């Protein structure tokens, strides 16, 4: 049996640095903030690339995980959109060329769920490498990666559409 202290002490330093960066990003999202539209893509792109990389590079049954990943992105997108629609609409400041985003715990929540899930799954693969070749593990990995990635795309997509006045608060699409 591997101890928690052994697992934590064998975790590379870059993983803790990434975790700190992600948590700081999540904490900053708790307050209303101004963002350049292009920087709003960072977390969705990061979690999408991380998910795809993991599926292709870490799983022998990557085709199963990839199929589930694709389906779960769509479901996660809907979840992210729905949850984000419960907060005030984003707006666009044309003068500053920034999106005014409401404070929300959603970013921090999805960061924590995504990071912890990936960390646990990676630890499980390190302890029991044969498990990564099972259909069940591929399903869990694809589901987790797809849901988190999709949720970030849903949140960001809604906020960008609101900011550029394609849809507004109170319209049937946003609740």
The DSSP call for residue 2 is -
Cα–Cα distance for residue pair 141/169, rounded to 1 Å: 34
Q: Using alpha carbons only, give the angle 48, 53, 59 rounded to the nearest 5 degrees.
A: 125
List the chain pLDDT tens, one digit each, 175 residues: 788 888 888 899 999 999 999 999 999 999 999 999 999 999 999 999 999 999 999 999 999 999 999 999 999 999 999 999 999 999 999 899 999 999 999 999 999 999 999 999 999 999 999 999 999 999 999 999 999 999 999 999 999 999 998 655 444 444 4
pTM: 0.87
Would you state the torsion angle of the CA atoms of residues 146, 149, 155, 157, taken in this order, to the nearest 10 degrees? -100
């Amino acid at each position: 049996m591997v101890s928690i202290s052994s697992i934590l002490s064998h975790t590379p330093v870059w993983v803790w640095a990434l975790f700190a960066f992600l948590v700081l990003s999540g904490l900053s999202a708790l307050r209303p903030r101004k963002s350049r539209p292009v920087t709003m893509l960072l977390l969705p792109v990061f979690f999408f690339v991380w998910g795809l990389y993991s599926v292709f590079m870490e799983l022998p049954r990557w085709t199963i995980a990839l199929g589930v990943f694709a389906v779960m992105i769509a479901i996660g997108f809907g979840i992210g959109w729905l949850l984000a629609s419960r907060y005030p609409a984003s707006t666009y400041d044309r003068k500053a060329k920034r999106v005014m985003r409401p404070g929300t715990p959603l970013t921090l929540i999805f960061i924590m769920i995504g990071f912890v899930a990936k960390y646990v799954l990676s630890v499980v693969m390190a302890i029991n490498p044969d498990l990564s070749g099972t259909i069940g593990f591929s399903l869990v990995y694809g589901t987790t990666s797809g849901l988190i990635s999709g949720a970030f795309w849903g949140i960001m997509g809604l906020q960008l559409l609101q900011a550029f006045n394609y849809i507004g608060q109170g319209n049937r699409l946003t609740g």
